[in-house]
Structure 1
């Protein structure tokens, strides 16, 4: 079906940007949703001696795209109307679906994973280039642009698999992460880069607005509630019925690969606790 098309759409966030006329800079946010970006890493303590980072117009654009992506993704997730149960997995994972205005169908996966939100963010965002080590549906991910420690532009190519009705796709996405108390938000959306046009031999698919919400389970364990909104346009001439059947299946497969990689504890598979030394690519 479509296992090679679904990618992890984690990528952009929301509130810490203020525009300054004539001289753009990244400043401490007045919005309570997210902390300031004046830290070197989203899980490092706030340091008052770190000055705001000045961003170029292009970099500001990526952050702004991320803010809008997360805002729209959370509107979809938090709107309780229209969601229907799509599948219930044997392990208890549940995938819901709803049809957005315009006819696109989106999917929301709810699961509990045996890892803290910080560990999952490290795997899914900080070391996103290592995802192809443990996810067989991804052949390549490369960070093309980085804006601080929280925003990036990535290029991703899906793996070629036998029997795949969709064919290989590539994605150009902006990604961002944000932490608020016990929650970490990963969001993303398709973006444009003049120097990186669609690749020959691939169909340029688009994702977003999409997000992942990681929240600690309040039972003294290191488990996390994992909420993933998958919102994707695979492009090409494909019947909606095929795409809408394959996307939730691929979403479940991705979560299965993530669990399996986490359970091995192997750095060769790309899973480690924040603070450990990762294996070079």
Structure 2
């Protein structure tokens, strides 16, 4: 009998544990842009989330309401001022002449309307036309309004006012509306738009999206579940995936201290690059361009982008080791790849993200001159593959150099997957999506890219063989 009761209790406890849901993110609750919580994967799509979305690049609904509120501020303040003028019982033209043309700070309240007009022009300029995503402008406008209204209270001749109640209401209304604008922008507009942007990253309408969401979901503040089991707890060389060194990168190009906003911008860009590269990898439009033994290069033409390339090769090394070699040992890239003159790690964003700088040698027998590239790189473990996404970016330590033409890497990736026939070997894929900039004939460009990809994998195989001979592999 006791055993049956115990079993029933255990069943009840288990069923209750299954029914417990993780708390969802209530984005209808006000959050400051400076205290946005990490995006959780289990929230629901609400009207607030949709209000922050920019459909087809248009202004979001919540920002449009803010612009309407600023317009209401001007119109309501102007209407209150007209009521105050008319209640004096004077001819409208005479009243306007005294209030505007013979303005006196002690007797006229037209300056309150001018303050509302200034707020209207400045706020719509920065938040509607320029589409600024920072609270500094509205904070300045609110602060200056408060200073002006406080001074107005001391300077205005209240004892001789004929309608002091309405005039006091005009000043108080202007004060409240200016603070309402600051609150609404900082606690509603900016947080909702930020949530909407991050939601779009984690819910891209792609046939492969469910496979990548385990990695992207929660960026830029969370990582994949597999990361915790990936790193070795043993001591390892600095700069290796087995022992991440978060210290400063000491090299020719110094890192900078990044603000929180800069870090999140880099991580957001990395997430988008990962999604785009993943989608390109699994497109069905790839066509075989050239084969060399077991290795092959496929191409695909993308509208508004041009031709992109995909290399597939088989390497005698584990995917994990290759990830370590290509991502964490980027400084040694020029030592085994003659197509690279210099390779530097410039800035470490986190364990999975960094910014690197490469200078490529001349290509196509000197027809294609040397280029340099600034790359944002990010790796993740997706669908039993290690994926390194790469996209061009900018960095303050790496301005354009007159000596080289600055190339641009669009979203591309390196993919390392375990060979199903041999766990010590891997299938290596490289999606190359590059704009070399400068005028280069299409045929020469395509031939150069195909040659570069085959040469790359040839030198990589030679490098792996040397590592094995030296006992490092």
Tell me if both proteins adopt one fold, taking TM over 0.5 as the criterion: yes
Residue 288 (structure 2) pairs with residue 85 (structure 1): yes
Are 1:256 and 2:438 an aligned pair?
no
Structure 1: segments with no counterpart, 5+ residues: 1-17, 47-53, 274-281
Counterpart for residue 56 of structure 1: 260
Partner Cα separation in structure 1 for residue 363 and residue 341 of structure 2: 10
Change (3 A) 1:218 1:77: same
User: Relative contact order (C-alpha < 8 Å, sep 6+): which is higher?
Assistant: 1
CA distance in 2, matches of 1:212, 1:199: 27
1:104 to 298, 306, 331: 306
Shift of 1:57: 1.2
Q: Which residue does 2:412 correspond to in 1? A: 210
Q: What displacement does 1:194 show?
A: 3.3
Structure with bigger strand share is: 1
- Cα deviation for residue 217 of structure 1 reads 1.1
Alpha-carbon contact 1:39-1:45 (below 8 Å) kept: no
Show the counterpart of 2:447.
245
Shift of 1:245: 1.3
Q: TM-score, normalised by structure 1?
A: 0.77
2:237 matches 1:225: no
Aligned position for 1:129: 331
Matched with 1:196 is 398
Instruction: Give the direction of change, closer, same or farther, for the CA distance of 1:149–1:199 in structure 2 (3 Å limit).
Output: same
1:252 positional shift:
0.6
Segments of structure 2 that go 5 or more residues without pairing to the other structure are: 1-24, 43-212, 217-221, 234-257
Q: Tell me which residue corresponds to 1:22.
A: 34
Alpha carbons of 1:236 and 1:230: their partners in 2 closer, same or farther (altered >3 Å)?
same
Work out whether 1:76 is the aligned partner of 2:263: no
Residue deviations 1:111-167 (CA, integer Å, cap 9, x gap) = 111111111001100111110010011111111111111111111111357931111
Please give the alpha-carbon distance, in whole angstroms, between the structure 1 residues aligned to 2:35 and 2:315: 43
Count of residues in Structure 1 that have an aligned counterpart in Structure 2: 245
- 1:215 counterpart SS class: strand
Mark the structure with the bigger radius of gyration. 2
Query: Residues 41 and 208 of structure 1: is their aligned pair in 2 closer, same or farther, counting only changes over 3 Å?
Result: farther
Deviation at 1:37, TM superposition (A): 6.0
Q: For 1:139, which of 341, 345, 348 is the aligned residue? A: 341
More helix per residue: 2
Equivalent residue for 2:318, pick from 103, 109, 116: 116
Aligned partner of residue 262 in structure 1, secondary structure: helix
Report the equivalent of 1:36: 223
Report the secondary structure of 1:163's partner residue: coil
Most deviating of 257-266 and 21-30: 21-30
Tell me, in whole angstroms, the C-alpha distance in 2 between the residues paired with 1:195 and 1:25: 31
How has the CA–CA distance of structure 1 residues 40 and 140 changed in structure 2, closer, same or farther, with 3 Å as cutoff? farther
Q: Is the 8 A contact 1:84 1:96 kept in 2?
A: yes
Residues 160 and 101 (structure 1 numbering): CA distance in 2 closer, same or farther, change over 3 Å?
A: closer
- Taking only aligned residues, the RMSD between alpha carbons, in angstroms, comes to 3.1
Secondary structure, counterpart of 1:68 in structure 2 = helix
| Counterpart secondary structure, 2:304 | coil
CA distance in 1, matches of 2:36, 2:396: 22
Alignment pair present for 1:180 and 2:382: yes
Please give the alpha-carbon distance, in whole angstroms, between the structure 1 residues aligned to 2:388 and 2:469.
22
- Give the 3-state SS of the residue equivalent to 1:250 in structure 2: helix
